[in-house]
Amino acid sequence: MTIKMTDVWKTFGEGHTAVDALRDMNLVGTQGEFTVILGPSGSGKTTLLNLVGAIDDPTRGELLVNGHNLSALDVDQKVKFRRESVGFVFQFFNLIPTLTAAENVELVADLTLPNGAERAAVVLEQVGLGDRLHHFPGELSGGEQQRVALARALVKQPPILLCDEPTGELDFETGRMILSLLRRVSRETNQTVLLVTHNAAIGDMADRVLRLRSGVIVDDVSNSSPVDAEALTW
């Protein structure tokens, strides 16, 4: 699934308080590409992710995903797009505390295809949580919670995976383990991954690294020989 941004602006607020989070951004992402987006706070990383995930709209410009202009979609069409095409992994996991690991994944699995419970179990097995299916989020470690969140994103088999600081709340070892898992699964399923992080070291495992500053892409580097996540250090 290709992503194409043409002259995209995103402005928050109006008049004197207006802030341009993205400025005249042009970008093309290709199917199966693992892209890491780096930049300091306020550089527009998360905004970029939110636009691609159709949870926010550009102020100006055109954003095409697989040839579909996201700005032209109505509310229901955006819901359908998110449901079928996008998986989110958040920094703070955002699991439903009253649902077990399996149920958190099943809730999302049910949105697309039947047998959500079975598929949830399979995906949780893939992320190494086969023995934690019936644990509630409060009974899981941070790394385990993020793996559940990853499983929740993967269970729909979305062509695009959007990860916003997925290791921000995790210790080094756990973070590296999550990245490794992410890289493995995305390769296996040929998913397009956009991963936002402050951590420049993570760029070494990406096919492509974008650096943002003040809403502008200041660096766009392809990496022909990405390292394994296990080799990362920071």
Partner 1 sequence: MVKPLHHKLWRDVRRQRAQFIAITITIFLGVTIFGATYDSFRNLQASYAATATDFRFANLTTAGGDVATIATEAAATPGVESAEVRSVADIPFNVGGVKLLGRIIGVPAGEQPTVNQLSVLEGIYLAPGSGDVLVEKHMADHFDLSPGDLFDIRMSGRWQAVTVAGVVASPEYIWPARDRQELITSADNFGVIFAANAEVALATDGSPNEATIYFTGGGEDDALSNDLAAMARSHGAISTYTRAEQASNAGLTEDLKGFEEMAVFFPLMFLLAAAMAAYVMISRVVHSQRPQIGVLLANGFTRRQVRRHYLGYGLVPGLLGSIPGAVAGILLARLITEMYTGMLSIPVTLVQFYPATLIGAVLFGLVASLLAALAPALVASRVMPATAMRGETPSGGGRRSTVERLFPPIRRVPVGWRMAIRGVGRNPRRTVYTIVGVVLSLMLVLVSWGMIDTVQHLMDRQFVEIQQEDATVYFGEAAGAADVAALAEIDGVAAVEPALTLPVSLGSDGEHHYETALLVLADDTEMHRFLTTDGNWISLPRSGLVLGQATQNLLDVAVGSKVAMTIAGVGVVQEEIVAFVDEPLGTMAYMSRGRAESLTGDVLPATSALVTYEPGTDAAELRRTLTELPAVAAFEDANALYAVVQKYMVLFYGFVGIMLVFGAAMAFALIFNAMSVNIAERTREVATLLAVGTDRRSISRYIAAENLLVAALGIPIGLVVGYFAAKSALASFSSDLMALDLYIRPTTFALAAAAILLVALISQWPGLRAIRRINIPKIIKERSA
Binding site for partner 1 (CB under 8 A): 46-47, 50, 53, 55-56, 76, 79-84, 86-88, 90-100, 103, 106-108, 110-111, 116-117, 136-140, 145, 152-153, 156, 164
Among left, alpha and beta (phi > 0; psi -120 to 50; other), residue 157 is left
Q: Is residue 16 a contact partner of residue 189, using CB atoms and an 8 Å limit?
A: no
Between 26 and 98, whose beta carbon lies closer to partner 1? 98
Closest distance between partner 1 and the C-beta of residue 77, in Å?
A: 11
Task: Specify the residue, 143 or 226, whose C-beta has the smaller distance to partner 1.
Answer: 143
Min dist. Cβ of residue 146 to partner 1 (A): 11
Amino acid identity of residue 122, one-letter, is V
> Which lies closer to partner 1 via its Cβ, residue 64 or residue 117?
117
Least distance to partner 1 from the beta carbon of 221, Å? 26
Structure tokens at 99: 């649902």
| Shortest distance, position 111 Cβ to partner 1, whole Å | 5
Residue 192 CB, nearest approach to partner 1 (Å): 17
**Quick one: 101 or 205, whose CB is closer to partner 1?**
101
Q: Is 223 exposed, middle or buried (0-12, 13-18, 19+ CB in 10 A)?
A: middle
Pick from 108, 26, 28: nearest CA to 66: 28
Instruction: Identify which of residues 38 and 108 has a Cβ nearer to partner 1 in the complex.
Output: 108
Nearer to partner 1, 46 or 167 (CB): 46
For 222, the token pair is 């392809």
Strand, helix or coil at 161?
A: strand
Tokens matching residue 66:
């697989």
Check if the beta carbon of residue 67 is closer than 8 Å to that of residue 3. no
Q: Please, which residues bridge with residue 89 across strands?
A: 163
Q: Which two tokens stand for residue 88?
A: 């989110």
3-state secondary structure of 47: helix
Q: How far is the CB of 17 from partner 1 (least distance, A)?
A: 16
Q: Which residues, 6+ apart, have CB-to-CB distance to 80 below 8 Å?
A: none
